Homo-oligomer: A and B are copies of this chain.
Amino acid sequence: MDNSAQETIAITFTPIGFVENKAEDVPRHWTVSSLEGVLAVLPQYQGGLTDLAPGQRIVVLFHFHRSGPFTGKDLRQAKRETGIIKGVFSICSPRRPNAIGMSVLEVLAIDGGRIRVKGLDMFEGTPVLDIKPHIV
């Protein structure tokens, strides 16, 4: 496998919607969050929201849009809550080679393209990339 060629592949995505969340600060992780807000899904994707229902948990993939560029020194980082240094692929830091976040949220209500959710750890304006069923 010619990695030198393949590592330059660019894979481009566009948001399916955005997080609305009036909080000034957000919990560090969905596992410790009860913050409520809205996933505002763009009109052209709202037809894909059928079958989502209140009470359900969903996996939300999003862009850590406030993260700066990733550098080699970010390969190992101190976990915010413990200070213990770990490899980036063992922690949920927003400073990652690809700044993709994943949170598991509870659906509270759906009104057209507006999904009211609980458990937010994303800032206002965060671009949402995908919504998937939560399977454990």
Contact = CB atoms under 8 A, between A and B. Distances in A.
A61 interface: yes
Interface in A11-57: 11-16, 18, 20, 31, 40, 42-45, 47-52
A82 interface: no
A90 B61 CA distance: 14
Given A13-B13, A15-B9, A18-B1, A132 B48 contact: no
Copies of this chain, tallied across the complex: 2
Contacts of A129: 11, 98, 100
Given A15-B11, A100-B61, A132 B51 contact: no
B92 A132 contact: yes
Size bracket of the A interface: 35 or more
The 9 tightest CB contacts between A and B, nearest first, are A47-B75, A50-B87, A51-B90, A48-B88, A89-B131, A13-B98, A48-B75, A48-B87, A51-B87
